[in-house]
Amino acid sequence: MRHLSAEAKGSSFWDRVRQSIGPARVEGFIDVVSRLTGAVARAMFVVLLICTPSLLLPGVTQDTTQMVVLVGLFAGLITLIEYGSTYPCLIEFRNAPPFNRVRFLSLFVTVFLLSIIFRGLYEPTTLTRFVQAVGHLVGYVIDFPYSPVRLIMLLVPDQSNVEHMNLMRAAVGVSYLVSLLTLAVFLIVLRVMGWPNRTQAFNFWTNLPTFDPTMGADVVTRLNRDARFNIALGFFLPFLTPAVARSASGLFNASMMDSPQTLVWMISIWAFLPASLFMRGIAMNRIADMIDEKRMRGARAVAAGLLPA
């Protein structure tokens, strides 16, 4: 009897523990674990992105490796803090997938393919030849007067040989192709998935932490203005960047253009930034349309409620 009473007391104790925890706390614990797991995974992918050129390109010095690892760990820590926290900081559209996933995948594919292209200088393989051939084709197609590719090619030193020129043209062609495919994928996501998800509430503060909707003119007007500015900047940036780099060429060592790792990051950023600005402008325009549509629905509901029966 004492044994049974002890078991009864024990079972009632654990029942009270479960009741005290409650399903809400269990769901909150699962949400915290899921958020931290996702943050750790994103941080690891960011570190892998930054270390990819150093892993694929031979001849990287020990000092360069240490610097890349330090930058990768710092970027991964920022990503971990940003996605592991409930409150936003700098990263936009954090809770509006797959916006950031498309951007990250675009940059990762660009860096990986450019690293493969420049790896062909030292260890040519079937993969490096195939990527170079695709880059040559795209580069020659879009290499016309005053095109972004032609402006980038003007940055190549005059004493460079034909092989180096062709390699640069292939790298620029591949990066430009990836940026165009990124925009196409994002437009398909907008059309097919209806981004952002209309079935869930869009948290303006979390997804646009640097945009203050309470300052200045109407929020829809400001969103449309910022969208037009981002799209215009994304269009002109491929033309402006080579001109700025050429005018500032005296500030940098000419040997930087001979470093494959430097060229990988320069060309990747040149192609990624305009596509990212295009995506941001399109996304802000979509959010402005959503707010305007919600206002119109609310106005119609109020007008319908004021009409006499």
**pLDDT tens profile 145-200:** 888 888 888 877 767 778 888 888 899 999 999 999 999 999 998 888 888 876 66
Residue 63 has pLDDT above 70, yes or no: yes
Which tokens sit at 201? 């509430």
Omega within 30 of 0 (cis) for the link into 148: no
Name the burial class of residue 121, with classes exposed (0-12), middle (13-18) and buried (19+) by CB atoms within 10 angstroms of its CB.
middle
**pLDDT tens profile 245-261:** 777 665 555 555 668 88
Which one is predicted more confidently, 243 or 71?
71
Domain ranges (residues) in the chain: 22-86, 92-303
**pLDDT tens profile 25-49:** 656 667 777 888 989 999 999 999 9
Q: Is the pTM of this model over 0.95?
A: no
| Long-range pairs of 85-93 with CB within 8 A, sequence gap ≥ 24 | 86/35, 88/205, 88/206, 88/207, 88/209, 89/209, 90/209, 90/210, 91/209, 92/207, 92/208, 92/209, 92/210, 92/280, 93/207, 93/208, 93/283
Consecutive H or E run containing 46: helix 2-56
